[in-house]
Homo-oligomer: A and B are copies of this chain.
């Protein structure tokens, strides 16, 4: 199938949790497979911090597949010969949906720091508008990992009847101080980088030389995405510099990995978008707008399927398990699986083989009904 990005433009206001309004706004998205006649085969995928709507397939002339291509495609667990899959770029991001570097209409100047803070609830509401514009009011499943898993859960709470199934991996019911602290590294590193210029950098300022502040923040991110054991496996204490071991800036393999990946990342990811998205992660709590976390969870009508990874050092298994316990106590429909893994938080991206059968069977089971 030919993969291409579409854009939906909205002239009606998006009312944000902050009380502010985003108007007009655009949502970039991709779809895979075909919607069936009774619209009963629709799966929405939500992406994480650094992801985009390009979740599966390969663009013409490119080599790299979408970020969850192992899971989604023809004959795969989320089988695009059966299901119509939609993935949209979250608002605030920098891959086609409205974000801080888009024009602050009616001016022709980017929002920059005037962009409103958006939350996971806001991201979810924007996606509901996208679905409506496509004539979609009912989903087979909403699937996401990490911040995508937060969105899936927020969908379940805020729109209890929208999706038959909610599949949330490597997420949590609220962001804990631990994660906010990791994000703080990026917040400060970007904010204090002189080349960030208080948000007033030129539009293509970092294409050649990435922003050091973002790269540094991203190192902290990568630490939280991995685990001590996955790092041992990947890097051990291998020393890779041509500089000797006793040169101050000589590098162990883990250091080279961090430098290489984060420097590249800082060339193509917008630092303002990064700040706004980590802010959205920081403010995430299912509780907000309800009496309590438990009250929020009790509203869920969907079947909820929770997956955690034993070595996740960002969102710990106990956090997903907590949602399970609350739902189970309420006799809500919920399953929970802690997947044994050494790959840390990233396991939801790199160990698809450990949960693809589960997802296939979740979709299949509900198919038979």
- A187 part of interface (Cβ distance < 8 Å): yes
Question: B316, A180: Cβ atoms under 8 Å?
Answer: no
Could you tell me which residues of chain A, from 103 to 144, have a CB within 8 Å of some CB in chain B?
113, 116-117, 119
Min CB distance A285 to B, Å, is 7
Question: B235, A216: Cβ atoms under 8 Å?
Answer: no
Interface SS of A by simple majority = helix
Question: A181, B219: Cβ atoms under 8 Å?
Answer: yes
Question: B223, A259: Cβ atoms under 8 Å?
Answer: no
Min CB distance A121 to B, Å, is 11
Question: A177, B232: Cβ atoms under 8 Å?
Answer: yes
Name the CB-closest residue of B to A278: B248
Complex-state Cα separation, A175 to B117, whole angstroms: 40
- A254 part of interface (Cβ distance < 8 Å): yes
- In the complex with contacts A176-B237, A177-B235, A275-B248, A185-B185 CB distance below 8 A: yes
Copies in the complex: 2
In the complex, identify which listed stretch (A39-47, A78-86, A161-169, A189-197) lies at the interface while the others stay far away: A189-197
Question: B184, A246: Cβ atoms under 8 Å?
Answer: no
CB-CB under 8 A from A175, the residues of chain B are 237
Complex-state Cα separation, A178 to B252, whole angstroms: 11
Residue-wise interface mask of A (243-283) relative to B, using a CB-CB cutoff of 8 A (1 in contact, 0 not): 01111110011110011000000000000000110010011
Min CB distance A61 to B, Å, is 34
- In the complex with contacts A188-B259, A216-B188, A220-B220, A283-B180 CB distance below 8 A: no
Complex-state Cα separation, A247 to B19, whole angstroms: 12
Complex-state Cα separation, A192 to B283, whole angstroms: 30
Question: A117, B248: Cβ atoms under 8 Å?
Answer: yes
Name the CB-closest residue of B to A283: B245
Question: B187, A255: Cβ atoms under 8 Å?
Answer: yes
Question: B282, A252: Cβ atoms under 8 Å?
Answer: yes
Question: A178, B223: Cβ atoms under 8 Å?
Answer: yes
Residue-wise interface mask of A (64-96) relative to B, using a CB-CB cutoff of 8 A (1 in contact, 0 not): 000000000000000000000000000000000
Question: B212, A192: Cβ atoms under 8 Å?
Answer: yes
Residue-wise interface mask of A (14-47) relative to B, using a CB-CB cutoff of 8 A (1 in contact, 0 not): 0011111000000000000000000000000000
Most B CB atoms within 10 A — which of A20, A117, A222?
A: A117
Partner of A216, one of B192, B228, B253, B254: B192
Question: B252, A219: Cβ atoms under 8 Å?
Answer: no
Partner of A182, one of B223, B276, B283: B223
Complex-state Cα separation, A32 to B8, whole angstroms: 73
Complex-state Cα separation, A209 to B254, whole angstroms: 32
Partner of A177, one of B20, B234, B248, B279: B234
Question: B178, A228: Cβ atoms under 8 Å?
Answer: yes
CB-CB under 8 A from A338, the residues of chain B are none
- A174 part of interface (Cβ distance < 8 Å): yes
The 29 sampled A-B contact pairs (Cβ below 8 Å) are: A17-B246, A18-B244, A18-B245, A20-B246, A117-B246, A174-B237, A176-B232, A177-B228, A177-B231, A177-B232, A177-B236, A177-B237, A177-B253, A177-B254, A178-B227, A178-B232, A180-B254, A181-B223, A181-B226, A184-B219, A185-B185, A187-B249, A187-B255, A188-B258, A189-B189, A220-B223, A248-B276, A248-B279, A252-B282
- Sample of 11 further A-B pairs with CB below 8 A, known A192-B212, A194-B194: A176-B232, A177-B235, A178-B223, A178-B226, A180-B237, A184-B219, A184-B258, A184-B259, A189-B216, A220-B220, A228-B316
